[in-house]
Amino acid sequence: MWQSSSLHYLMRGWIMREIVLDTETTGLDPYDTPAHRIVEIGAVELWNQVPTGQTYHQYIHPERDMPPEAFAIHGISEAFLADKPRFADIAQAFLSFIGDARLVIHNASFDMRFLNAELSWLGLPALPDERALDTLLIARRRFPGSPASLDALCRRFGIDNSNRTLHGALLDSEILAEVYLELTGGRQADFGLGADQTRNTTTTVSGPWRPQPRKAPLPPRLTEAERAAHTAMVAELGEGALWSKRG
């Protein structure tokens, strides 16, 4: 089961490494004809439910066309992906980043199905289902009958997702990391990328926790190459793109 094994870890309170992960794809099923493929992976590392600042982000050439309905969701075009590596080229780097960590995913069955399809086509072992903690199932259990999408959970917990005009794997994984800590009652007082790992485990927080302003801004995590790639992708969306309208 997606959730029971994952909650076992949480209830035992074990210290562990977790990877909050999201993918973007060309469609809904990797076993359609032609097969749908992963086009972007984003991931955020947590240690003992505290973000470390370590992330993984990769665009991937899908070796097929980009259906219009998929482009409407994430805005990633065939032209933008034309020079990006194939999954075969990045598989080992991706597997090295996630290691044996618990995988925190919203609607985990979707992403795991795609990841395992890509791995199987390369003859690599599948990621076991029990490694995945599904935040969608946790949200539905905590708030039965209420919307449980990532946007709905951001509204519930007061998490700023104003930059989420289109789906993007790294941004969605960063937002999901905040949602995950709210859902599970993680060490919220210490939440923050690059936070000091030294903590008082007896500290309690009264009332809803929200991130406090930083004393100093974090250094940019985007490389110049990534910034240029993003600019090129936005340019392909045309003058009407929401990103182009921001001051």
247 domain-assigned: no
Which residues, other chains included, contact 187 with Cβ-Cβ below 8 Å and sequence gap of 6+?
48, 49, 50, 181, 199
- Structural domain contains residue 144: yes
Number of domains in the chain: 1
76-85 residue pLDDT tens: 999 999 999 9
Lowest average pLDDT, out of 7-11, 48-52, 134-138, goes to 7-11
Specify if 205 maps to a domain: yes
State the pLDDT at residue 220.
Answer: 61
Residue 84 falls inside a structural domain:
yes
**Full-model pTM:** 0.71
pLDDT band, very low/low/confident/very high, at 188 (cuts 50, 70, 90): very low
Q: How far apart are CA 83 and CA 88, in angstroms?
A: 14
Q: How far is CA 103 from CA 41, 159, 194, in A?
A: 13, 21, 20
Rounded Cα gap, residues 16 and 90, in angstroms: 25
**Assigned domain for 149 exists:** yes
More confident residue, 238 or 19: 19
**Cβ neighbours of 165 (radius 10 Å):** 14
Banded model confidence at residue 163, pLDDT cuts 50, 70, 90: confident
Residue 64 lies in a domain: yes
Please report how many Cα atoms fall inside a 13 Å half-sphere around the Cα of residue 182, on the Cβ side. 21
Please state the φ and ψ torsions of residue 89, each to the nearest 5 degrees: -80, -25
Q: What is the pLDDT of residues 34-70, one digit of tens each?
A: 999 999 999 999 999 899 999 999 999 999 999 999 9
- Out of 61, 74, 167, 230, the active site residue is 167
Residue numbers of the domain that contains 236: 4-242
167 catalytic? Reply is yes
User: Is the residue at 97 inside a domain?
Assistant: yes
CATH code at position 180: 3.30.420.10
